[in-house]
Amino acid sequence: MSGSSEIQMHEEPNSSDHAQHDLLVIAALADRGATGEEADLARAQIAACGACAALHADLVSLATATRQLPPIERPRDFRLRPVDAQRLRPNLVRRLFGSFGTPRDGFSRPLAAGLTTLGLAGLMLGILPGTLSLGGATSGGAPASTAMDQTLEAGASAPAAGVPEVEAPAPAPAGAQPTDPLQQYSDGDRAAADNLRPLGAGELQGDDGGRPVMIASAPEDFTDVADDSSGVSQLMVISGTLLIVGLGLFALRWTSRRFGG
């Protein structure tokens, strides 16, 4: 007890400084793991600060006590039974998998997760091509389309510069053929073509009747769409493959952990 009161008497005058001291170097010195500079710093702190000196003494005592901890009696015999040995003998599956899927295997899980994510993302993009189009329409397609419409309207209501004597289109009679060539396509195709319009924007020319029409760029656009669909199928194939590989990797991990012993 007297030792304790001595320590506290030492601690008090230095307590404000002690909070600033580097306790890790004291711990390093107590473990004889301090390098030259650390050891010098620790010794200086111990010499100047009673709390640091007490800490050092305590840490040395703790290290000694830890080394002297008694062994704990094992609760059972760990010898292997023949049935264990039979189960554990390397077989083809175990050799194939090795340590695959063990908690220390830090590679296969992120790889499987990455492949699965890429596969799913690719499939979503492939299955929902409208998602891309919709994204384009909301970001840039709509204004472009609106500009196009405005141009069309302008062309319809007033002569555009460089396009003399453009007549305003007469209202189409009911049941008449639509003047917009895009109307012959389905709504979906038209929507897709609308998004491609910026590529052909400004390609207005007057026809013989002076009506502003789109030059025959729409069919090309649809060709592009057709090309895109083959691209989409490629994307689908690749994404599906990635997804299958990723899920397969997860399955392999599970199998290895479940049956790999």
Partner 1 sequence: MPSALGPMLDSPSLEIAVRRESLPVEQDLRSTTVPDDPVQRRDLILLERARDGDLDAFNDLVTLYQDALYALVVRMVPDRDQAADAVQEGFFSAFRNLHTFRGGSVKAWLNRICVNAAMDTQRARRRRPSQPYPELEDDSWQPPAGEDADPERTAVLAERSRALSVALTTITDDQRTAIVLYDIEGYDYAEIAEMTGVSLGTVKSRIHRGRLALRDRLEGRMELFRG
Binding site for partner 1 (CB under 8 A): 1, 3-4, 23-24, 27-28, 30-31, 33, 55, 57-59, 61-63, 65-80, 82, 84-85, 88, 90, 94, 102-104, 261
In the complex with partner 1, the residue whose CB is nearer, 20 or 230, is: 20
In the complex with partner 1, the residue whose CB is nearer, 32 or 230, is: 32
Sign of CA dihedral 93, 94, 95, 101: positive
Output the smallest distance, CB 13 to partner 1, in A.
20
Output the smallest distance, CB 104 to partner 1, in A.
7
Output the smallest distance, CB 97 to partner 1, in A.
11
Assign 3-class secondary structure to the chain: CHHHHHHHHHHHHHHHHHCCCCHHHHHHHHCCCCCHHHHHHHHHHHHHCHHHHHHHHHHHHHHHHHHCCCCCCCCCCCCCCHHHHHHHCCCHHHHHHCCCCCCCCCCHHHHHHHHHHHHHHHHHHHHCHHHHHHHHHHHHHHHHHHHHHHHHHHHHHCCCCCCCCCCCCCCCCCCCCCCCHHHHCCHHHHHHHHHHHHHHCCCEEECCCCCEEECCCHHHHHHHHHHHHHHHHHHHHHHHHHHHHHHHHHHHHHHHHHHCC
In the complex with partner 1, the residue whose CB is nearer, 65 or 92, is: 65
According to DSSP, the residues that pair with 31 across neighbouring strands are none
Please count the CA atoms within 13 angstroms of the CA of 120 that sit on its side-chain side: 8
Output the smallest distance, CB 68 to partner 1, in A.
8
In the complex with partner 1, the residue whose CB is nearer, 1 or 176, is: 1
Output the smallest distance, CB 125 to partner 1, in A.
33
In the complex with partner 1, the residue whose CB is nearer, 16 or 68, is: 68
Output the smallest distance, CB 25 to partner 1, in A.
8
Output the smallest distance, CB 192 to partner 1, in A.
48
Relative to beta strand 212-214, strand 204-206 is antiparallel
Are 8 and 51 in contact, with CB atoms under 8 Å apart? Answer: no
In the complex with partner 1, the residue whose CB is nearer, 24 or 237, is: 24
